[in-house]
Structure 1
């Protein structure tokens, strides 16, 4: 795998994390609504695979869901920055080579 595909898998996992946290916050007033989270596992060659899992009830759910959303947003930003820098480096390399 290359850097772009590794960062792309990180973007997808972070996006899924934001969606899961938002869904948990939206369902907060619904009694008995299941909480969901994201399970990530490494992929051979680099990157991650992400999927939704059901989480146990948590009395501190509003706070932990908001923290999880913020964490996912930061992970998304970090992977997006990696893609931008990789693109800039490739452009600079092509400029030098030309």
Structure 2
């Protein structure tokens, strides 16, 4: 796997975890004592992004809307990363066609 693919795949994994975190929070809105989760991202040393899920305390009346918007943003980020992989594949195919 080359550097671009690794960076993009790390972004896709983070986006997937973000959707899972948002789904967890929405699914547990009515559950007393259920932890609210949050996804934290940071730049990875080798490029890309590292993500981890943390539990947050407290309640937020706007949380359900925020979770739904966050899930939608993660879906858009995932789709953008997938488009980058497709474009990289097309460019590599064109380069190989020229060399043949």
Shorter-chain-normalised TM-score: which range?
over 0.9
- 4+ residue runs over 6 A deviation: none
TM-score for the superposition, normalised by structure 1: 0.94
Unaligned runs of 5+ in 1: none
Post-superposition CA distance 1:3-62 (Å, at most 9, x none): 100000000000000000001111011122111011011012310001101123211111
TM-score for the superposition, normalised by structure 2: 0.92
**What residue number does 1:88 align with?**
90
Unaligned runs of 5+ in 2: none
Alignment of 1:34 with 2:32, yes or no, is no
**What's the RMSD between the two structures over aligned residues?**
1.1
The within-5 A match list for 1:48-59 is 48-56=49-57, 57-59=59-61
Distance 1:92 1:54 in 2: 46
3-state SS of 1:49 partner: strand
